[in-house]
Amino acid sequence: MPPEHKAPKGHNMLPDLLETIRQSMRDYPTLFVVVAAAAVLCLFLWVIAMRSARRRRGERDALIAQLEYEKALRTQFRTVTQQLLIDTPPGRLIEGLCCGIQAQLEKQPDMQAAYDALPQPRRFVYALGYVLQDGREALSEFFRKNGQPLTRAALEAVWCLVGGEYAEIFQREYDAFDAKNEHVSLVKEAVAADDARFAELVLEQGETLFAQAKEFILANSCIFTS
């Protein structure tokens, strides 16, 4: 006669547990609703915390990458030679020279006076470098982060060294962010549209967008070489 089969210990625990939960729901419906709401709230807060952590990690990584990029630029442009001006792509050339000028200005007791004393070609390239750096994600960020006299110098530099639709968009945002300009108001939708088109231009034309600026730098190489 085969041995008697015995259910494993705990075999009926799950149905019993479910029945206990159902009975609790019937006996204490309000408590169940409170517990369920607390569970949903905990899940919601956990999702928010995870998203916030990912965003902070992304911002930290972007900041580290930007600092490393600027460090590399400062190293490369510590000594500026004619060959360096010739060999470097226009966009990186502008940013590299801007970093070098910034490093020199930081050593001066009066940075504003030192900036005002810069020759126009260096002032133009310095301002344009800030447009490339601060306006990388959105042109409007350049105007939110900077003020006069940098934004005015940037406007002149953009018209002189780039021109075209790039300069037209820059002019519109310059006017929109100019608190003294009573004829133009800041319309968020218009600024967002200009930001998007500005970014498209940079993607579409790439380094060719700043070819004229590089020609200007080479024509004034004696002012930029160490």
Contact in structure between 70 and 129 (CB atoms under 8 Å) = no
- The whole-number pLDDT of residue 11 equals 53
Asked which of 28-32, 44-48, 195-199 is least confident by mean pLDDT, the reply is: 28-32
- The whole-number pLDDT of residue 71 equals 87
Tokens representing 52 are 């916030």
- Runs of H (alpha helix) within 28-138: 29-76, 82-87, 90-106, 111-116, 120-134
Query: In this predicted model, which residue has the larger pLDDT, 1 or 156?
Result: 156
For residue 4, CA distances in Å to 1, 7, 12 come to 9, 10, 18
- The whole-number pLDDT of residue 4 equals 52
* Average pLDDT, rounded, for the chain: 85
Question: Which residues, in sequence order, are CB contacts of 25 under 8 Å at separation 6+?
Answer: 32
Q: pLDDT tens-digit profile of 100-121?
A: 999 999 999 999 999 999 999 9
> For 118-136, what is the mean pLDDT?
94
> For 203-221, what is the mean pLDDT?
93
Query: In this predicted model, which residue has the larger pLDDT, 42 or 105?
Result: 105
**Burial state string for 5-18 with b = 16 or more CB within 10 A and e = fewer than 16:** eeeeeeeeeeeeee
What's the pTM? 0.72
Distance of CA 83 to the CA centre of its chain: 31
User: What's the rounded Cα separation, in Å, for the pair 92 and 80?
Assistant: 13
> For 109-134, what is the mean pLDDT?
94
Does pLDDT of 25 surpass 60?
yes
**DSSP line for 133-149:** HHTSS-HHHHHHH--TT
Q: How confident is the model at residue 74 (pLDDT cuts 50, 70, 90)?
A: confident
> For 45-56, what is the mean pLDDT?
72
> For 40-57, what is the mean pLDDT?
72
Does pLDDT of 128 surpass 70?
yes
